[in-house]
Chains A and B, each alone.
Chain A
């Protein structure tokens, strides 16, 4: 029996009539995508606010009485966890994955729409549980986003009571949600592609999302396992990770557990997580660059293989997060080597992006600006990763601001640059309206320059030895006089960048309310999602017949063709060539 998602007719597709059926308990992948995105952006704004509060304390210590040391640690923890899991993972895979997979591979919906709906509501529940921890006695956990035992569950760490339990429960619920969504994404991509959509004709966005989803499915169990075992330690008093330890002057009942075991489990998830966030971003930025440079992506096959290769390698580099844990030096050597090897396919991708731009017909639209901005931030973040991948350099830099600057550039700012590129790029498809360009430009320059104002000096402070996760530095005589005001400068830049994000939020509402309808396919993109009968696409996406794909998604500026792009579903016989152009020789007849 052909699945309805890949059927030419719509025998089973259920069209809800009520508001609740259409927008709340919706099984339409597009509505679910918007639900995911709105929730993720909302919770991301909370995390942004937390970072501003943290920076106020760091930049202007003793000026703000409402921030105490416990709160500072709690805000650091919640900022990190929310940004990595509940914003980036959810928005890239739950939001963009849900919206784009069925449209880009040419199906009517995900293959398990009900499961897809459950996935969102489990995610929503996980966010609620997480936010609840702000209001329980003791507040949310302040253990750092890595939640390392023994300190995460011992008294003395903020939120070591209910806070940590809610955090672990929320993570477990999130993983259930992700698994339900992830099974849907991989099954849909493998099994519900339309006629002619071979694997190597899929846009790189889909390749990125597909590989990242598989990484997520294989890596999140490690987080689930460590969360459950830590819950056992915290609630039932077991000693999986807890050694014999004295807490607040009293001996505890724990005995013999290994905190390092937790670190291994956590980073076995934690490092692939970097690529769970990065790979969809790699895919989406490739598509944005190609469309706005009016040129096919350079080295498509190499880009696909690089994505797959990076995905595979990401499972054998985890212990580079643990060089200072006292591991066997041979281990360090092994993980440093694998870490540096991963730079090879990553560099191939960066070269290919630049070569896609080379001699392209570059349109400096807002999505393109963000995409080019990503190439800068990602290269800078990646290069500092090469420093930290080496054991001897990581040792002195570990737990300093250099590390904070590195991972923010590579997996904070960079994916967010792509997310903005993607939102500006696909907004006309989702809403039928193009986001206001002037506001978009202001937003881009403020964000791009602002992030450099934040993170460049942070690298420097890290080199000087300024430690991370400290509420107050105390004696700062080890920092040269000239660098004393840098922390304040960074804080001012953070506030400015945060204000620029409000322009983006304003732009969303302004455009929806005031801007006129945009042209269909305003960027002239060739991939399938822009060629649905209706924009925004209706439930079921396509008419009675699913599209047939005849080519890849990157036929831009093809010599001799009248239009500067050929849609994926256009047959060769329908392509209109310039008069006098000979297709067989690719030459014009002399006139």
Chain B
């Protein structure tokens, strides 16, 4: 109970004399702490939209995008394809991190390059899905289910894009002569970020392609029905 003992310390009492203990290496890197907080912030944003989505899904005008044969995501090969791309991107980032630990610079550069490229492919694939939906007449304002699809996937794409910017920064640092050891924390952060992107996408994929019955079930389980 490190946290509990830290909060129950009595600072007004004299501390024992002698060398004060502190972590000379700096402990958990600040970047990692910041990333954890950032991921919590992003999770909260998506969680809140999930809640509004589930609430809105129980209104009579909500028409789910799956459940009947003619609906666009009853069969969703497009979304499965984008999922595969994102899984591959995540694997590439894992590979980059493995190369960091083995101190192999070629593996690092290859891993983050492939990871970033596939993330870009994912965004473009999402773009084609939006056009596909729009051409089928499922415009953003036609129905709340469509609105949520565009909102969720748009924000997720923006989130992916933010990760790509972070990778670009790693490239710039490597270009400026930083060693693998110096960019290790950043590569690790990218790896965590990509896994998070994938996890979030899987959740979105699941949520956006359900039938009205499933929404009703989830909503009632969450007390929103």
Contact of A191 among B14, B26, B45, B155 (CB under 8 A): B26
Q: A3 contacts B30, CB within 8 Å?
A: yes
**Which residues of B have CB within 8 Å of A238?**
140-141, 144, 147
With A and B bound together, what is the CA distance between A5 and B55 in angstroms?
A: 46
Given contacts A200-B9, A221-B48, A265-B52, contact A239 B37 (CB under 8 A): no
How many interface residues does A have (CB within 8 Å)?
A: 59
Q: Which of B53-103 contact A (CB under 8 A)?
A: 55-56, 59-62
Find out whether the CB atom of B144 lies under 8 angstroms from the CB atom of A228: no
B40 at the interface (CB under 8 A from A): yes
Residues in chain A near residue B41, CB distance under 8 A: 179, 217-218, 220-221
B52 touches A255 (CB 8 A): no
Known A191-B33, A217-B37; judge A268-B48 contact (CB<8 A).
Answer: yes
For residue A391, CB closer than 8 A to chain B, the reply is: no
B contact residues around A200 at 8 Å (CB): 6-7, 9-11
> Which one of A256-264, A318-326, A462-470 is at the interface?
A256-264
B176 in the interface, Cβ–Cβ < 8 Å? Answer: no
Q: Which of A211-265 contact B (CB under 8 A)?
A: 217-218, 220-222, 224-225, 228-229, 232, 236-240, 253, 255-258, 261, 265
| B25 part of interface (Cβ distance < 8 Å) | yes
Q: How far is the CA of A548 from the CA of B24 in the complex (A)?
A: 13
Interface residues of B in 105-158 (CB under 8 A from A): 140-141, 144, 147, 151, 155
Asked whether any CB of chain B lies closer than 8 Å to the CB of A83, the reply is no
Tell me, yes or no, whether B206 is within 8 Å of chain A by CB. Answer: no
Complex Cα gap A225–B152 (Å):
11
Q: Indicate whether A552 sits within 8 Å of B151 (C-beta atoms), given known contacts A3-B30, A221-B41, A221-B44.
A: no
B218 at the A interface (CB under 8 A)? no
Q: Which residues of B contact A136 (CB under 8 A)?
A: none
Are A184 and B7 also in contact (CB < 8 A) when A3-B26, A240-B52 are? no
Q: Give the residues in chain B near A111, CB-CB below 8 Å.
A: 30, 34
B217 at the interface (CB under 8 A from A): no
Among A187, A198, A239, the residue within 8 A (CB) of B144 is: A239
A112 and B34 contact, CB distance less than 8 A = yes
Q: Least Cβ distance of A399 to chain B in Å?
A: 25
Task: Determine if A271 is an interface residue (Cβ-Cβ < 8 Å).
Answer: no
Write out the residue numbers on chain B whose beta carbons fall within 8 Å of the beta carbon of A301: 7-8, 10-11
Whether A183 pairs with B45 at a CB distance below 8 angstroms is no
Contact: B59 with A258, CB < 8 Å?
yes
Q: Does A288 sit within 8 A of B, measured CB to CB?
A: no
Q: Answer yes or no: A406 CB below 8 A from chain B CBs.
A: no
A551-B11 in contact (CB<8A): yes
A255-B141 Cα distance, complex, nearest whole Å:
10
Asked if A261 and B56 sit within 8 Å, CB to CB, the answer is yes
Is B30 a contact of A195 with CB atoms below 8 Å? no
| Contacting pair B55 A261 (CB below 8 A) | yes
CB distance from A404 to the nearest CB of B (A): 29
Interchain nearest-CB distance for B35 vs A (Å): 9
Residues of B close to A170: CB separation below 8 A: none
How far apart are the CA atoms of A200 and B7 in the complex, in Å? 6
Q: Determine the chain B residues whose CB is within 8 A of the CB of A239 once the complex forms.
A: 61, 141, 144, 147
Given contacts A2-B25, A239-B141, 4 further A-B contacts (CB under 8 A): A200-B7, A218-B40, A239-B61, A240-B56
A-B contact pairs, 20 of them (CB 8 A): A112-B34, A179-B38, A187-B30, A187-B31, A187-B37, A188-B30, A199-B9, A218-B44, A224-B45, A237-B141, A239-B144, A239-B147, A240-B56, A256-B60, A256-B62, A261-B52, A301-B8, A548-B20, A549-B20, A550-B20
